[in-house]
């Protein structure tokens, strides 16, 4: 499953290290992050927008 997710992310334009990290994180919504990139959002920003909130987040 991780390999498939990594391939999907790489095909969408994510660089190898970011694709690998996101593929391993089951909390990341693969379809949503790829859709943001398809709409013109840079991959790193798309990953940041959809990143799970840190447990220490004040909000």
- The per-residue pLDDT for 53 is 78
Counted domains in the chain: 1
- Answer yes or no: is 55 within a domain: no
Rounded CA-CA distance 24/59 in Å is 26
Q: Can you tell me the mean pLDDT for 6-32?
A: 95
Q: Is residue 39 a part of any domain in this protein?
A: yes
Whether residue 41 is contained in a domain is answered as yes
Label residue 2 by pLDDT band (50, 70, 90).
Answer: very high
The pLDDT of residue 59: 38
Residue 54 within any structural domain of the chain: no
Assess if residue 57 is contained within a domain: no
Residue 59 is assigned to a structural domain of this protein: no
Q: Is the residue at 36 inside a domain?
A: yes
Name the pTM for this structure: 0.83
pLDDT attached to residue 54: 67
Band (pLDDT 50/70/90 cuts) for residue 55 is: very low
Asked if residue 22 belongs to a domain, the reply is yes
Contacts of 9 (CB under 8 A, 6+ apart): 18, 19, 22, 23, 30, 33, 34, 43
Q: Domain range for residue 42?
A: 2-49
């Amino acid at each position: 499953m991780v390999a498939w997710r990594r391939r999907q992310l790489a095909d969408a334009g994510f660089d190898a290290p970011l694709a690998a990290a996101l593929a391993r994180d089951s909390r990341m919504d693969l379809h949503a992050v790829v859709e943001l990139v398809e709409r013109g959002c840079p991959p790193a920003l798309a990953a940041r927008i959809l990143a799970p909130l840190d447990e220490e987040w004040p909000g």
